[in-house]
Amino acid sequence: MILAVDPGLANLGWAIVRPADAGVHELGVLRSKPTPGLARSADRRERAARQAAVLLGLGRAHGCTTVIGEAMSFPRGIEGIASMALSWGVLCGVATALGARLLEVTPKVWQHAVTPGKRAIVYADVEAALDAHIRRHGAPQACEQLDALPRSFRTHALDAAGVGIWAAIHP
């Protein structure tokens, strides 16, 4: 199985993808907010530790042999860079603990893979393609989990699913 991640400290999307058919088995978003009164470094440590525990649990429960994350991009200054770097550090640790290979893929590469034939990437097309793929090839619980997500967090889970689907079709 593939543990696919859309990294971020505040909102981390994850998906479990079957390599045989690129079917999404489960997906979700791990959300975290800063803890009031906690020093920034301690807060970041706690949030990263929580991500590690959840991702390691998912990886072990599903026998994941591959961990893949969306490559880092830096649209939001130093805080965004720190958030992505911490989350990628978590992925490195989780992959090591699982004995899994660690991969990354850029957003444009996986987005082109899930929307074949489209020259320009429009996220609405990506979202529609991923939603259709999950409903056609995913497990029933993945569809239920996707439907249960608030609209504002749905893209994180879909991005993780897209990353995992890319890994399944490009072994």
Determine the pLDDT at residue 77.
Answer: 73
Kindly tell me if the per-residue pLDDT of 132 is higher than 90. yes
Determine the pLDDT at residue 75.
Answer: 62
Kindly tell me if the per-residue pLDDT of 160 is higher than 80. yes
- Higher-pLDDT residue of 24 and 43 is 24
- Higher-pLDDT residue of 126 and 119 is 126
What pTM was computed for the model?
Answer: 0.93
Kindly tell me if the per-residue pLDDT of 171 is higher than 80. no
In tens, the pLDDT along 66-103 reads 999 999 876 667 777 778 889 999 999 999 999 999 99
Average pLDDT over residues 45-74: 94
Q: For the CA atoms of the chain, what is the radius of gyration?
A: 15
Which structural domains are found in the chain, ordered by start? 2-169 (3.30.420.10)
Q: Read off φ and ψ for residue 144, nearest 5 degrees.
A: -65, -40
Question: β-strands 66-70, 101-105: how paired?
Answer: parallel
Percent above pLDDT 70 for the chain? 98
Determine the pLDDT at residue 42.
Answer: 84
Specify the amino acid at residue 84: M
Determine the pLDDT at residue 38.
Answer: 79
CB 50 within 8 A of CB 33: no
Kindly tell me if the per-residue pLDDT of 137 is higher than 90. yes
H and E: helices and strands count for the chain: 6, 5
Pick the closest to residue 83 from 74, 96, 92 (CA basis). Answer: 74
Determine the pLDDT at residue 103.
Answer: 97
Residue 47 neighbours by CB distance under 10 Å: 23
Determine the pLDDT at residue 43.
Answer: 84
